[in-house]
Amino acid sequence: MNISLHPKNETFIQEQLQDGRYSSVDEVINEAIAVLRSLCKGEKYAAEVEQQIEAGQATDGEQVFDHLQEKLDGGRSVMPLEEIRKMIGTDKPA
């Protein structure tokens, strides 16, 4: 396959090679394609999530974080740092 690049893109590729980030033009192009694939997957995922939200199939973010915090706490509540300081008599941060 033969491709034509805009001079700005050719310059950019040459800069990447000169900086030692890549060892060949093929390596630069392969990385660019990998990034493009990742971007396309992200866009597809975002569209799917948006559809779920519009369909009412999403969970409120605060509920998710509350649930995760409960799991991290092992089901026990955590006392705020200010309350702990009051209990031990050091109301000022160390």
Mind listing the pLDDT tens digit for each residue in 32-64?
999 999 999 999 999 998 898 888 888 778 887
Give this prediction's pTM: 0.55
| C-alpha to C-alpha distances, 51 to 9, 35, 58, 59, 62, nearest whole angstrom | 36, 24, 9, 13, 20
- At residue 23 the predicted structure's pLDDT band, cuts being 50, 70 and 90, is very high
pLDDT at 75: 60
pLDDT at 64: 79
Contacts of 58 (CB under 8 A, 6+ apart): 49, 52
